[in-house]
Each structure stands twice: as C-alpha cells, then as structure tokens.
Amino acid sequence: MKTEKTINLTAYTVEYIDQREPKPRTIRTQTVVLDGGKVSALARLDMRPAGWITAQFERDGYTVARIHKGETIAAHVDLADLWQQTAAQIERDRLKAQLQAALAQLNSQGVEA
C-alpha cells in the first residue's frame, strides 16, 4: 500500500518593521512557508498569499515592507514514517513531563524532611 504523499511548499520572504520599536527601526526578515492546500484555499477565497501573509503580520502589530515569492518545491512525505516519528515524539514528551513531575515531587519531599 502506498503511504507516500507529495506536498508542494512555497516560501515567501517577508520584510517587516515593528512600529513599536524606537526609530531608527530595524527591517526584519522572516520566511513563511505555505503548502499547496493553503495556497489553493486562498485562491478559492479570492485572496493572494501575499495579502494573507500581510494580514497575519499586521494582526501581530507589524508593518510589512515587502514580500518576495521564493521557490516552490515538492516534498515527498512517507505518511507511515511521519506517524512513527510523531508518535515517538509524543511519547518522549509524555515521559519528559512525568519525569519532571517526579523530580518536582522528590524535591518538595526533600525540602519537607
């Protein structure tokens, strides 16, 4: 059974300014990656990716100076492998939380003694 999926990813380089910063303000750069599904959904809503990205940055209080559309690549993902990696990460996070709780409990008992 085929468990591989191809995901199209497009990178956008966003140059933005934090208007809350004192002058002279620094132009910062961040890369935003959208998958083909997001780009397609935006097109169905009659929105361009740059407009959507700008709205997201403005919602967070930034002013977008420029957006450059970068390269589009096709990423091949083995869904079974992704599942195993994700399940293992969830288990590691769960064990880490349990260990931290146990250490906190031991430390609190040590203080009381």
Residue 23 and residue 44 in contact, taking contact as beta carbons nearer than 8 Å? no
Query: Pairing mode, if any, of strands 62-78 and 27-35?
Result: unpaired
pTM above 0.85, yes or no: no
Residue 18 has pLDDT above 80, yes or no: yes
Tokens representing 97 are 């939380």
Distances 35 to 14, 19, 112 between C-alpha atoms, Å:
16, 29, 53
| Segment 25-65, tens digit of pLDDT | 999 999 999 999 999 999 999 999 999 999 999 999 999 99
Instruction: Pinpoint the alpha helices (H) of 1-113.
Output: 36-44, 49-59, 79-112
Q: What span, in angstroms and rounded, lies between the C-alpha atoms of 7 and 9?
A: 6
